[in-house]
Amino acid sequence: MKEGSIMKLFSSESVTPGHPDKIADLISDSILDAYLLKDPNTRAAIETCLKDNVIFIFGEVSTHVEVDIEAIVKETIKKIGYDKKELGFWYDDIIINYQISQQSPDIALGVDETDNKEQGAGDQGLMFGYANNDTKEFMPLPIYLAHLLSKRLVEVRRKNIIKGLRPDGKVQVTVAYDNKVAQYVSAVVVSTQHDEELSLDFIRQEIKKHVIKAIIPHGLLNENTKYYINPTGRFVIGGPVGDAGLTGRKIIVDTYGGYARHGGGAFSGKDASKVDRSASYMARYIAKQIVAANIAKECEVQIAYAIGVAQPVSVYVDTFGTSKVDEILIMNTILATFDLRPKAITEFLQLKKPIFTQSTNFGHFGKPNLTWEKLDHVKIFADLVV
C-alpha cells in the first residue's frame, strides 16, 4: 500500500441454507432436479414462498412425469436442519399448497423447437458473467470470504463444534482495497440463530474463534478489523417464523456479492431454457476463461436475448482497462468459439442433468464441480497475446 493512499471499502453478504429465502430457493431447485431426473426435457419455472409453517409452491412445469412434491419439500427442510419441533419451523408440521400449471402456449411458441424453427430463448433479458483475479476461484474476495464463513457457520452447527446454534444465519464481509488490490478485511458481520439459553458473550467468543479466525487468513485480519457478532444481542426466532421466504430474493448472494452487475433474473427453480439461468452461467464461464488466461485482471461479459429468438441480440465484454489485448479481439474470439444459442449452451454445460441443488447455496459461482466453472478454453484466449 502506498503511503497516503485512500482505502476503498467493499462489502458482500452470504446467508446459510436455513435463511428463509434460501429455504425457498432449495425447495424450488429440489423439485426441479426431481423432474429432470425423470425427464431431462422438463421445462420449469417453480416459485416457493413460505411463512411460519405454511408453504406455497406455484409456477409452470411442462413434463410427462410426476414427482412427489410433498415428500421433496419435507426432505429438503429436514436436510437443512429444521428437524426439531422446538425450532418453531420443522419438516413434520407444515402445510403445503401448490398451484402448478403447464407452460403458457404463447411462450412455448417461441421456445419449442420444430422442423422449421430452432429453440428460442425462454424470455427476453440481459445476463452478466464476471471473473477477477482476487482469488484462485476467480471470484471477488468479499463474496468469496462471505460464502466460506457461511459454510463454516453451517459446519460448526452440524458437527456440534459450537453447541446450541440453529439453522438461520447471515454473514457480511468488508474488504479494504487500494487501487483494486485487496489489503485487509475491514469488518466481519455474523448473525446466527441460537438456542435461548446461550449467552451473547459465549456466542461472540465461539463464533470469533471457530468461524471467523478459522476461515479468514491471518494476514487479512489486523488491529483495524471490526467484528459484529449478533449485533442486535439476540437471535432466537429465525427461519420462516422470523421472516417470510421467497425464491429468487437473494440474487446478489447468488452471483458476485454486488461486485459485478446482475441482469435481474433469478436462477432457482428454472430449467436451462430460461436464459436468466443458463446464459448467466455461460457468461461466467467465458469471463473466467479470459481472466484465467492472464490476458485481463477482471472481465465482465453481458449476453442479451429476445424471447423466442435463438441468437443473442447482443454480446458485450468489459475488462475495465486491464486487458493486454484489444477487447474487440476478445469479442471476436468469443463469437468465433462459442455457440450462444440457448440449446447450444444447455448442451455445452450439460444443463439437462439434475445438478441444480448443488448450486443453490453459497453462491452459484466459484464451485469447481460445476460445469460452468471448468477451465477448458483458457488457451484460445492466452494465445491472443503475441
Find all residues with CB under 8 Å of 29, minimum gap 6, and list them.
268, 269, 356, 357, 359, 360
Give the C-alpha separation, 105 to 109, whole Å: 6
Torsional sign, CA 211, 215, 216, 221: positive
Residues forming a β-bridge with 316:
302
- Residues noted as catalytic: 19, 21-22, 47, 60, 170, 235, 243-244, 249-250, 270, 274, 276
Residue type, 48: T
Beta strand residue intervals within the chain, DSSP E: 8-15, 43-51, 54-62, 95-101, 125-132, 165-178, 181-194, 226-229, 245-246, 298-305, 314-318
Give the C-alpha separation, 362 to 183, whole Å: 24
Provide the grid cell at 275. Answer: 436464459
- The DSSP output letter for 344 is H
Residues forming a β-bridge with 176:
9, 184
The owner of cell 443453490 is 360
8 A C-beta contact, residue 157 and residue 205: no
8 A C-beta contact, residue 116 and residue 292: no
Q: Kindly compute the dihedral angle of the four CA atoms of residues 44, 49, 54, 56, in this order, to the nearest 10 degrees.
A: -30
Find all residues with CB under 8 Å of 377, minimum gap 6, and list them.
289, 337, 338
For residue 363, CA distances in Å to 39, 180, 256, 321 come to: 26, 22, 8, 27
Q: What is the CA radius of gyration of the chain?
A: 22
Give the number of C-alpha atoms closer than 13 A to the C-alpha of residue 147, restricted to the C-beta side: 23
Give the C-alpha separation, 156 to 148, whole Å: 12
